[in-house]
A and B are shown apart, each in its own frame.
Chain A
Amino acid sequence: MEHSSEVKEMANELGNYKTCVSARSTDKEILKCSQDGGIVTQLFAFALEEGIIDGAIVAGPGEEPWRPQPMVAMSKDELLAARGTKYNISPNVSFIKEATRSFGLDKVGIVGTPCQMQAIRKGMLYPFGWRDVPDKIALALGIFCMENFPYQSIVQLVEDHAGQKLENVSKMNIGKGKFWVYTDRGAVVDLPLKVTHKYEQPGCHVCLDYVANLADISTGSVGSPDGWSTVFVRNAKGETVWTKAVAAGCFETKPIEQVKPGLELVTKLANEKITKNQKTIAGRASFGAGKALRNPYI
């Protein structure tokens, strides 16, 4: 706790953090299919190697193309199979107890969206059904998230709107105000976000966290140049792992102040998300005629 006074009390929208940098993995193999800087894959690979974690819950390949399935990765190969953002729901937290049981992990890594980081921290404080789990969460990596999509929404966006077969898609991305679809044969289709908005998962519209404030380390593309990721190192645990990984040569880093578009854009988008969703929450209070929708925040 002696470090707590050093935690930079930034404006609330970016959460508490100790350091923020722009970074990318130095591992060519990881970068080949990573979403941006390969931060999550590289950190877990390093943590596995160093024994910081015994395994990591990641969004692995599922039964249908681009439909993720939570999996416990216990080797670099398994981590590599889970690279890249899928833009639809992977209930990673559903494996948090299973990882400590069937998989026998004592030190669990988990990657997740901001809401999943909230779920993890709530579960550590209120482990109603997560027996012996709280002390075994060794590394929680959060990813920036504006909203998520149900799988069928991705089918509709890619196959109906973008006119591409999902199994031919090599990468999806949201950036520069558009939803991008890249195919194996080189086609690139972009959809304006105006089209994608209505397909978003409704539960995302009450979320008040953009940059995974409660992760040990959170990362996302926003704020950094193409191929790089913005990284927030948030607490003592995150700092220990990050410092070791950088010292081991896992990452190239640049001060966030020296890259474009930098933290200004992250702050702007975080504020946009929070403001929009606070309005949604306020609207829920008078949604019906004299009837409110439930507010989960107390």
Chain B
Amino acid sequence: MGLLGLLSKLFHKSGSSAKSDTGAVKMVESKRKEEKSVADKITVGHVHMSGCTGCLVSLADNYGGLLTILDRYADLVYGLTLADVRHIPKMDVALVEGSCCINDKCSVDEIKETREKAAVVVAVGGCACYGNITRFCRGGQQNQPQHESFLPIGDLIKVDVYIPGCAPTPQMIRNVCVMAYLLLKGNAEQKALATSYLKPLMDLAAKGTEACFCNLMTEVINQGLCMGCGSCAAACPVRAITHEYGKPQGQRDLCIKCGACYAQCPRSFYSFDVVNNYEAILGAINGALQ
């Protein structure tokens, strides 16, 4: 059974529909889904701006899970070295990696074209969301030493969903892909689940293009919300965060501005609707990717 079937089973556990489901009905339903599965796929592209390809590697590190996603849920219609397509085609979801070099006309055109062609633009990783390590560029690198100005893509186009982190984890990218699929192809209930899962990531996209360890100070500790759980330190890719007397202390010179710490913090955003259902949601995602 495909993901939609699995999820509808899980989320109807106490409803009348589950009780009325006879084995025969289920068989018919799952057969119909399997036949339609190819047509039901969403189209996804990976757009490579100025990034290190670490986000793409992270996506690939889903191993068999990635193949299952491509097999059942998504067609990769664009991607450097992965799809033999030169120009950005129309697609449902664009996964954009890297920031945009505004000194390079080709990059600027490409990110604008991505916005025109994609229904949903996802900024994958710290560079696309917040500039990340490319914020520290001063130019001078071969073979384009004049390329010195890099902007998060949200400074040039409207971005729908953020996945902060450097690199965002394979599991996080996978979860967003699955939720994007549910949002575009699911029934009303599945769309509602995907919306509540993705909402905080949409809120992050709407919030702005700057991130830093300082967000933990200004928006969590200063706001009286930090309770010293340690999530931020575990999320930091450069080990810039330690805890002094139970509160995060950042070595700000080490911070690469990827946004992982703030996004990981349970007091940056927290949805009881989503998190209280962690077992059902993770069970469905894992089950669908077997």
| A296-B268, A298-B200 as given contacts; A94 in contact with B230, CB under 8 Å | yes
**Shortest Cβ distance from residue A118 to the other chain B in the assembled complex, whole angstroms:** 5
- Assess whether B226 is interfacial by the CB under 8 Å rule: yes
Q: Mark B227-245, 1 if CB is under 8 A from A, else 0.
A: 1111111111100010101
A255 CB-CB contact with B under 8 Å: no
Partner of A128, one of B260, B274, B282, B283: B260
In the complex, are the beta carbons of A214 and B227 less than 8 A apart? no
Among B14, B169, B267, point to the contact of A129 (Cβ < 8 A): B169
CB distance from B26 to the nearest CB of A (A): 15
* B246 partner residues in chain A, CB cutoff 8 A: 88-91, 150-151, 201
Chain B nearest CB from A125 CB (Å) reads 5
Q: Does A217 contact B (CB under 8 A)?
A: no
Q: Check B278 against A124 for contact (C-beta < 8 Å).
A: yes
| Contacts of A192-227 to chain B: CB distance below 8 A | 201-207, 213-214
Complex Cα gap A95–B241 (Å)? 12
Also in contact, A118 and B275, with CB within 8 A (given A1-B10, A91-B233): yes
Indicate if B225 sits at the interface (CB-CB under 8 A). Answer: yes
Residue from A98, A118, A121, A207 within 8 A of B234 (CB atoms): A98
Q: What total of A-B pairs shows CB separation below 8 Å?
A: 177
**Closest beta carbon of chain A to B28's beta carbon, Å:** 22
Cβ-defined partner of B229 (8 Å) among A119, A126, A150, A205: A119
Is there an interface contact between B245 and A131, defined as CB atoms closer than 8 Å?
no
How far apart sit A90 and B230, CA to CA, in the bound complex (Å)? Answer: 8
Which residues of chain A are near B271, meaning CB under 8 Å? 297-298
Question: Which residue of the partner chain A has the closest CB to B245?
Answer: A151
A118 to B264, CA, bound (A): 11
Contact of B278 among A5, A121, A131, A203 (CB under 8 A): A121
A115 partner, pick from B227, B237, B245, beta carbons under 8 A: B227
B270 interface contact, C-beta 8 A: yes
Query: Which of chain B's residues have a CB closer than 8 A to the CB of A91?
Result: 228-230, 233, 243, 246
Q: Which residues of B contact A92 (CB under 8 A)?
A: 229-230
| Complex: A182 Cα to B14 Cα, angstroms | 50
Task: Tell me the complex Cα distance, A201–B13, Å.
Answer: 40
In the complex, residue of chain B having the shortest beta-carbon distance to the beta carbon of A93: B230
CB-CB contacts of B265-290 with A at 8 A, as 1s and 0s?
01111111011101111110000000
Any chain A CB within 8 A of the CB of B127? no
Most chain A CB atoms below 10 A, which of B10, B225, B247, B280: B225
Chain A residues, CB < 8 A from B260 = 128-129
Query: Contact at A89–B228, with CB atoms within 8 Å?
Result: yes
Complex contact A128–B14 (CB within 8 A)? no
Using Cβ atoms and an 8 Å threshold, which residues of chain B touch A214? 275-276, 278
Q: Which residue of A lies closest to B283 (CB)?
A: A1
Query: Which of B34-42, B77-85, B145-153, B160-168 touches A?
Result: B160-168
Give, as a whole number of angstroms, the nearest-CB distance from A211 to chain B.
Answer: 14
Contacts of B231 in A (CB 8 A): 93-94, 96, 119, 122-123
Interchain CB contact (< 8 A) of B270 among A4, A205, A298 = A298
> How does the 8 Å CB contact mask read for B1-37 relative to A, with 1 for contact and 0 for none?
0000000001001100000000000000000000000
Could you write out 28 A-B pairs with CB less than 8 Å apart?
Answer: A4-B13, A88-B246, A89-B228, A91-B243, A93-B231, A94-B229, A94-B234, A95-B230, A98-B234, A112-B229, A115-B227, A115-B266, A119-B229, A121-B275, A122-B266, A126-B172, A126-B175, A126-B263, A128-B259, A129-B169, A130-B171, A148-B228, A150-B245, A203-B267, A206-B224, A296-B266, A297-B270, A297-B271
> Closest 9 A-B residue pairs measured CB to CB?
A89-B246, A94-B230, A129-B235, A91-B230, A203-B227, A129-B260, A94-B233, A93-B230, A89-B228
